[in-house]
Structure 1
Amino acid sequence: MMRIFFSLLLLLPLAGYTQTFTLSGRIQDTKGLAVPYANITLKSIRDSSFKRPAIAALDGGYKFTELTKGSYKILINTVGFQPFEQAISIENDLNLPSISLKDEVSQLAEVQILAVKPTITRKIDRVEFSVENTALSSSNAWEIVKRAPGIQSAGGELSLRGSKSILVTINDKKVYLSGDELKAFLESTNGNEVKSVEIITNPPAKYEASGSAVINIKLKKNLQSGYKGSVNSSYTQGIYGKGDLGTSQYFKAEKFAASANYTFGKGIFYNKINEITSYTAQQQTWYDVLSRKNYRDAEHAYRLNLEYAPDSLNTISMGINGAIAKKNHALYLIPTEIYQNGQYLSRFDTRNERFTPRSNVAYTLSFEHRFSAKETLNFAADLTNDDNQTDQNISTVYYEPDLYVNQFKNNNNQKIKLFSSQMDYRNDMPLFQLESGLKYSRVQANNTQDFQHNLPDGFGTDPELSNTYDYTESVIAGYLSLSKEIKNWSLKAGLRGEHTATFGNSVNPKELNKQNYFNLFPTIFIQNKINNNNTLGFSYGRRITRPPYSYLNPSKFYFSPNSYLIGDPKLKPAFTDQISISYAYKGNYRMEAYYMKEKNPTIQLPYQDNAANILIQKVTNVPGNQYYGIDFSASFQPAPWLALEIQAGPNHVESSFKLSDGSTLYNRINALNANIDQQYTISEKRGFSAGVNFSFITGGVQGPAKISSMSSLNFNARKKLFNNKAEITLMVSDVYRGETMTVSSKYADQNNSFTYYGDTQNIRLSFKYNLGNNALKSKPAKEKTTEQNRL
């Protein structure tokens, strides 16, 4: 199999010369007057992936060059005229007769529209949540992902069907971040850049094998010639305020295109944790209230992409994406009260001052060559540098039995370099569609920690708690995928192979860890369109989840004298098998039954040391998790001015955990989750729309911990202004603070719980003003790689 795979790749340069032709014409109205700036799309009838856009010139003229022989369809859409569609056959250069567009006649009453575009599209292997030109686009990428179908965001972490082993990508490129860093990165990504979010529960072989599922954020990219831009700003008021100001610019000539985005953000991001820990050895109960204020004083996010197409067969793209937050800092206040046998014993207050600058920059280069309308070759390379610093100055004042102060510093600096390159080949052969590719990625991570005690003559380094940790990881991957349409059947099967080599070196504690492993990841998709109304589907896939880089660091990272986080350099990757059966009726109603099993998933577990009265956030593997359930979803339009999307389903989650005595603890829960989204078009003529969203989940488990139920009610309204050149949006999120979450662990000698609230109840007001030709459409942008998600 591998010999055939490499032979196919080696034969690519031998593809023959293809003769090309030109299509031209003119667009006019029924009176013979030119229709300028009309949107024109040329599609191949035989190759669904071939789609060439254009925009009519001032005199209504248009031209398509470098076309191969075949059957095409020309589509024309422009404001004020009825859509036009015509099938054509190209054998030579072709100049079409003038196309006359008919005037669009419409009579719209207030609160009446002809149609509402659905925000959710269900495909054979994914669900696409479109947010372009909706009220959600005025928020940020984190808020958009939270609202996507089936996604939960408990405690600032994303989960799908109960599993947190999710790979987040941007334009199919992996984001090398996790946890709080991922949340902060998505919060700094302006929602105006987001076209849609894809939820891929069983990714095909072309995708990275990482994660039990993929959340792919598709950014906008314009196709048509001309200039388009916008400026936007927003202000959000929760417990504290935060705001941002940004601009988006785009220009495209015949062969050259450039796009740029910049956002400046500032504000206070707040969360609060109420923690209760019962230490059995001394019959003590500790009550902590952790108030965390993260000051993002000057966050800069930018993106620049350049594209050059010397002809219709070749495209070269390069870009730079980055985020700079040099002034970030934080203040954590933690008052603690201690009770013994129900009686007050003592208290102390901890003040944690943090300096948390961060910078992330990624350089991208890609090349695409089309041998023909059915055969393409793509090459892409990415280089990412991430620098993340956390310097802590922690002081604790103890009040009983005598007043005294304990102070120390914990300075941590993490530098990560990531490189990846990938080649993909696609050929629509007569018998089947072939997709194949190769990928190489390498990660170098360096983490230094300097722990300092406050000694009589000043701060001094503690060698026992200081450490240097280096980690390298390389992955070589290849995949082959075949798909075929046979009457009412759609078949797709793929196989991906990945070889992983890792090396971790910790100075203190002294740890050397090497791992080498090769795994195969098959995927199967079968769909049968029984008739126009009924469709059955089946899918199976196997995935891997590698631990985040920071989880492999065995250093003790202290939050207070009685609380720290510790990683494990010997963490194993987790493997997930998933199977699903689906049924769809008329495309609007869908049911999917699924079963998923994870082996060795990684979790961050609160573990209490009862002898020393210390609460440890311990990263560890658990034996396994199982998830199964049924998802029901429906999208319909009960009235011309109302569109509804409903998703709901019962599920069962089972998590296992090894106790210190070697026995296994099983934690199980039956749960129900639902999401109801309502979109109202109050006045299409005046550009006034609104929406209501409600979601809930009845609970969950993670290792030995139980997670409480959560719900969220959200409102939004949007009004277009100045002849659709501008828009103002109001959003009210988490109206009654239903997103507050409680996590409790009660087993053996462990008895602790915490309640988390992330300042999700807020009001957001945003304004956007468009520049240039607003009729220009968009397409997805170049996407991120898998390694970048694990920073």
Structure 2
Amino acid sequence: MTRNIYLSSIFFLTFYLAIAQDFSINGLVIDENNAPVVLANVILMGEDGEFIKGTVTNDQGGYEIKSVSSGSYRIVASYIANTVESDLFTITDTIEIAPLVLTSSQELDEVVVTQHKPKLEQLADRHIFNIENTSISDSDIWDVLKRTPGVMVMNNRLYVNGSSKVNIMINGKLVNLPEEDVINLLSGSSASNVQSIEVITSPPAKYSAEGGLLIDIKMKKNLVAGYNGAVFNKYTQGVLPKHTVGTDHFFKGKMIDFTTNYSFSHNRNWTRYTDVTTFFENGQENELWTAEQKSITKEKSHNLNLFLDIQLNDKNIISLSSTSSFSPDRITEYTSTTDIENNNEVLTARLKGLNILNDDTFNSSNYLDWVHKLNDDGAEISTNAHFTYYDSKDNQELNNDIVEGFTENTSENTLNLKSDQIINLFSAQTDLTLPLSEQSTFETGLRFANINSEASILQTGFDDNVDSINPTGSGIFNYDEQIYAGYISFSNNWDKWKLNAGLRGEYTDTKGDLDVLSLSNSNSYFDLFPNLSMSYTKDKNAFMLKYYRRITRARYSSINPFQYYLSANSIFEGNPNLKPAYRSYVEVDYVFDKDYKFALFTSIKSDEQVQQFIQDNTTNTLKAQYVNLETNYNFGADVSVSKYLTSYWYFYFLASHYYNQNSFVDLESDAVIENSIWTTYIRANNYFTLLKDESLYADMAFTYISPYVKGNASFRSYSKLGINFRKTFWNKDASVSVGVEDIFNTGNTYSTRNYLDQNNSTSTRPENRLFVLGFRYKFGNTKIRDNSKSKHTDENKRL
């Protein structure tokens, strides 16, 4: 009975929406001889110059723009180097406007983009950072994320709202890659193709509850027919040089929209570390181990992205997407020198280590989307199928030599390691979108995901009988996971109120098998994940509320139960018993005049997964292991400003002050330890558009964070200052960019772990100060640019 009522309701809504009234605009584009102009670009623009939608003319020079609401508009038509614009007209019903005549005397330059979008748009569930016409649009996407308001990058890890659980999407599609490979992909992808960065701070129920917040990278699409492309080159000099070269291609026809970009990166990365550890014996300080380490990575990476949209008819669109990366024969040389001193500061031993790691990594994520429009009012059914294949093969040789003195906890060894991890991910999702009225929309959907990970390891050559150190000789660990999910979501847009509320349910079934000990670990659980975002706007005042609950399941590399050496006294160990982590977040915002924002927030986490360094005083080793924290919560306030101070100067400033408390279990004593602190985070970005022809762009970014905590570690404060310039020429078809990152080289991190019998510190000094030089040249149909705006529009309204 319930099922029949539901189906009847869906049928009634679908029938009602199918017969709903909509408006269309029809017209012709002809030349001076009254001949039809085929495949002319036709753009519908609002009264203030805002782009609404676009199409192309048919074989008779006709065009039709559907689903247009009542209001005042203009039509701009262009072909090759000519353009024509209609007078302003008002639509209250389906209308046919007078033919537009293209003449050779008109220049296409009249529809070149000149609008200054707000660099930052504040919405209830997200904020949107528009990067077009800025100095950073010639850099790579990873560099753009470093400058995106609301995003923080520390030690090559993204943070949003204090959470490191951040997922990357491209055009709404999740990038299924480990963190390190995501960096490689984004570092090799030009930001010139990026229209905006959407930081989704309250993910709707439509998205998977997995992970934390979302960063959606919106790529540009050709709004008009034709072909254009670009070549780009980026050179970066730190301690070692890095180089990226690539090409982009865009094609739009009557039914097909195709984009592809390829890049090749040859990078050499350099990082220095210093680990200082005071080991204890019988509760007293015994030895001081100081390890000076250097890591040099040389890699060649290929990145290929493909996006294809096929308009089968007015009701059906098929999209194919593929994101692939291949890094063959990446080599990391990890050298270390460890000095061991007694309590009298006398050197008793010195160790030297050389760790050479070779790895090949291949990843390919492929998507198939089908969207069927039920009517012209927005009702549609969409289906997405996704498959990712990931393969990482490692070969490692570690040599440990005692060059001076002797210590009972070390010996001279040569360790050989081979490991391989293959991951297959498949998912399918179907969504139904039903507009209930002009203001309200209902969404529902189902999703299934299957994940299989197979990790194998083979280690030989290490002859050490020290207790509690047991590097895995060989083993195979299989991990399978199935997720069944469904959601409902409702949104409403009144005159002053906006609301989005949803509920998602996910059932998860996992099983892990380790062949060495014939161990099997299974787990099944069901969880609900509500979300809510709402806003109220009156005059220049806006009030916003957001709430969500999310889950973070264990990363596949972190659950592999293998133990292996990184250096003479440093061990990595996975944890197959990691539990899923949960996070609940609440934020209340007040925004004045769209530019000034004050926010109060709180976040409560349970079983957060972190990698902690723990010293073993029996074996004089440092162990890096993933654990679940007992609790982790924070609360605080943000104050931010984002506005044009002048017509050429856009300014963004954020000051955040929050309290963060972590509690964890000491593995030796089982005592619960609390680690907490008040932290201040400051971010200031300045974007300048200079020269009369607006061909010079500059940006200056400053970041500061006071001391903060993470798990069992406490970190010192650090800051960064960077500046970039971009100059366009050749009618803006070419551009050169130059910049310096971390000018004063103050972006290094220093952490300590000092409690009970733990007393160690780590200083990390990567290549922060970088000189960057880039070049980009566009060709093809570049005269009409994405999101074109008419020059005559009042610039004061384009904010």
Query: Is 1:324 aligned with 2:333?
Result: no
| Cα deviation, residue 165, structure 1 | 2.2
Query: 1:782 aligns to what?
Result: none
**304-313 or 664-673, which moves further after superposition?**
304-313
Give the secondary structure class of the aligned counterpart of 1:676: strand
Query: Offset at 1:86?
Result: 3.5
Tell me how far apart the structure 2 counterparts of residues 85 and 548 of structure 1 sit (CA, whole Å): 56
Contact kept? 1:128, 1:197, Cα under 8 Å: yes
Alignment of 1:593-672 (within 5 A): 593-659=600-666, 660-672=668-680
Give 3-state SS (helix, strand or coil) of 2:576's partner. coil
**Residues 193 and 396 (structure 1), Cα distance of their counterparts in 2 relative to 1, 3 Å cut:** farther
Instruction: Work out the CA distance in 1 between the residues paired with 2:592 and 2:515.
Output: 60
Instruction: Tell me, yes or no, if the aligned pair for 1:43 and 1:72 is still in contact at 8 Å.
Output: no
CA shift, 1:33, in A, is 13
Residue in 1 that maps onto 2:353 = 350
Give the structure 2 partner of residue 528 of structure 1.
536
Q: 2:456 aligns with which of 426, 448, 458?
A: 448
Where 1:232 maps in the other structure, the secondary structure is: strand
SS in 2 for 1:180: helix
Contact persistence 1:168–1:174 (CA under 8 A): yes
1:301 maps to 303
Q: 1:338 pairs with 334, 337, 340, which one?
A: 340
Q: CA deviation at 1:284?
A: 0.9
2:217 partner letter: I
Matching of residue 245 in structure 1 with residue 245 in structure 2: yes
**Mapping of 1:567-582 within 5 angstroms?**
567-582=574-589
After superposition, what is the alpha-carbon deviation per residue over 1:243-280, rounded to whole angstroms, capped at 9, x for unaligned?
A: 11100111111112221111011120222211111111
The answer to whether the 8 A contact 2:326-2:363 is kept is: yes
Partner Cα distance (2:396, 2:126) in 1? 43
Does residue 1:377 correspond to 2:415, yes or no? Answer: no
TM-score by length of 2: 0.88
Corresponding residue to 2:552 among 509, 526, 545: 545
Contact 1:465-1:555 within 8 A present in 2 as well: no
Match of 2:155 in 1: 155
Structure 1 residue matching 2:618: 3-state secondary structure: coil
Q: What do the CA deviations read for 1:416-457 (whole angstroms, capped 9, x no partner)?
A: 0111111122121127211111111111100000101178xx
- Return the match for 1:363 from 354, 366, 369: 366
Query: Is the partner of 1:202 in helix, strand or coil?
Result: coil
Partner residue, 2:402: 398
Q: Please tell me whether residue 53 in structure 1 is matched to residue 54 in structure 2.
A: yes
Amino acid in structure 2 at the alignment position of 1:25 = G
TM-score (norm 1): 0.89
Which whole-Å CA distance do the structure 2 matches of 1:718 and 1:637 have between them?
19
1:376 maps to amino acid: E
Write the mapping of 1:399-418 to structure 2, written as runs, cut at 5 A: 399-401=403-405, 405-418=412-425
How many angstroms apart in 1 are the aligned matches of 2:114 and 2:14?
52
| Secondary structure of 2:397 counterpart | strand
Q: For the residues of structure 2 that align with 1:278 and 1:395, how far apart are their CA atoms? A: 24
Residues 50 and 373 in structure 1, CA contact (< 8 A), matched pair in contact too: no
Assess if the C-alpha contact under 8 Å between 1:168 and 1:175 holds in 2: yes
C-alpha distance in 2 between matches for 1:277 and 1:9: 67
Distance 1:121 1:564, change over 3 A: same
Post-superposition offset of 1:27: 6.6
Which has the higher mean CA deviation after the structures are superposed, 410-419 or 462-471? 462-471
Q: Which runs of 5+ in 1 are unaligned?
A: 107-112, 456-461, 780-791
Q: Confirm or deny: 8 A CA contact 1:511 1:569 kept in the other structure.
A: no
Cα-to-partner distance string for 1:458-495 (whole Å, 9 max, x where unaligned): xxxx9953221111111111111111233422222111
**8 A Cα contact 2:71 2:91, kept in partner:** yes
Q: Is the contact between residue 464 and residue 508 of structure 1 (CA under 8 Å) also seen in structure 2?
A: no
- Post-superposition offset of 1:103: 9.9
Is 1:557 paired with 2:564?
yes
1:753 alignment partner in structure 2: 761
Is residue 421 from structure 1 mapped to residue 423 from structure 2 by the alignment?
Answer: no
**Residue of structure 2 equivalent to 1:788:** none
Are residues 55 and 440 of structure 1, via their aligned partners in 2, closer, same or farther at CA, if it must alter by over 3 Å? same
User: Could you list the per-position Cα deviations for residues 386-428 of structure 1 after superposition, in whole angstroms to 9, with x for gaps in the alignment?
Assistant: 0112211111121133798410111111100111111122121
The amino acid that maps onto 1:482 is F
- C-alpha spacing 1:189/1:498, structure 2 compared with 1 (3 Å): same
The answer (yes or no) to whether the contact 1:551–1:568 under 8 Å persists in 2 is: yes
| 2:42–2:224 CA contact under 8 A, matched in 1 | no
1:643 positional shift: 1.4
Asked if 2 retains the 8 angstrom alpha-carbon contact of 1:496 and 1:521, the reply is yes
Q: CA deviation at 1:360?
A: 0.6
Contact 1:271/1:757 (8 A) holds in 2: yes
Contact 2:176 2:365 in 1 (8 A): no
Q: Structure 1 141/269 Cα, relative in aligned 2: closer, same or farther at 3 Å?
A: same
Q: Displacement of 1:2 after TM fit? A: 9.8
Q: 1:91 to 1:725 in 2, by over 3 A?
A: closer
Hey, what's the Cα distance between the residues in 2 that align with 1:82 and 1:757?
57
Aligned to 2:27: 25
Measure the CA separation in 1 of the matches of 2:12 and 2:303: 39
- AA of the residue aligned to 2:528: L
CA distance in 2, matches of 1:161, 1:283: 41
In the TM superposition, what whole-angstrom CA distance separates every residue of 1:24-66 from its partner, at most 9, and x where no partner exists? Answer: 3357999x99999986444899xxx99531357999x65126x
Residue equivalent to 2:772? 764
Deviation at 1:183, TM superposition (A): 2.5
Q: Which amino acid aligns with 2:196?
A: S
Q: CA RMSD in A?
A: 3.5
2:794 corresponds in structure 1 to: none
Q: For 1:97-112, what aligned pairs fall within 5 Å after superposition?
A: 97-98=99-100
Note closer, same or farther for the CA distance 1:585–1:14 as it changes in structure 2 (3 Å cut). Answer: closer
Q: What code does the residue aligned with 1:286 have?
A: W
Q: Hey, what's the Cα distance between the residues in 2 that align with 1:441 and 1:253?
A: 35
CA distance in 2, matches of 1:194, 1:773: 18
Once the two structures are overlaid, the 10-residue window that deviates more, 233-242 or 285-294, is: 285-294
Query: What residue identity is the alignment partner of 1:135?
Result: S
Change (3 A) 1:327 1:314: same
Moved more, 125-134 or 32-41: 32-41
Deviation at 1:511, TM superposition (A): 3.1
Distance 1:379 1:657, change over 3 A: same
Q: Is the 8 A contact 2:288 2:342 kept in 1?
A: yes
Instruction: Go from structure 1 to structure 2 and tell me whether the alpha carbon gap of 1:340 and 1:85 turns closer, same or farther (over 3 Å shift).
Output: farther
Residue 176 of structure 1: how far off its partner (Å): 2.4
Q: Please give the alpha-carbon distance, in whole angstroms, between the structure 2 residues aligned to 1:741 and 1:72.
A: 55
| Structure 1 contact 141–190 (Cα < 8 Å) conserved | yes
Conservation of the 8 A alpha-carbon contact between 2:321 and 2:366: yes
Deviation at 1:777, TM superposition (A): 4.4
Give the corresponding residue for 2:795.
none
Letter in 2 for 1:54: T
Instruction: Please give the secondary structure, in 2, of the residue aligned with 1:347.
Output: strand
Distance 1:86 1:345, change over 3 A: farther
8 Å Cα contact 2:30-2:36 kept in structure 1: yes
Contact 1:222 1:776 (C-alpha < 8 Å) held by counterparts: no
- The answer on whether the counterparts of 1:687 and 1:720 sit within 8 Å (CA) in structure 2 is yes
SS of match in other structure, 1:568: coil
Moved more, 355-364 or 218-227: 218-227
Alpha-carbon spacing, 1:566–1:91, altered in 2? closer, same or farther (3 Å)? same
Indicate the residue corresponding to 2:121 in structure 1: 121
Distance 2:417 2:12 in 1: 54
User: Does the Cα contact within 8 Å between 1:538 and 1:580 map onto a contact in 2?
Assistant: yes
Distance in 2 (CA, whole Å) between partners of 1:328 and 1:339 is 36
CA distance in 2: counterparts of 1:350 and 1:229, whole angstroms: 48
**Judging changes above 3 Å, is the alpha-carbon distance between structure 1 residues 382 and 9 closer, same or farther for their aligned structure 2 residues?**
farther
Give the gaps of 5 or more residues in structure 2.
464-469, 788-799
Query: Residues of 2 paired with 1:6 and 1:665: CA distance?
Result: 52
Distance 1:189 1:417, change over 3 A: same
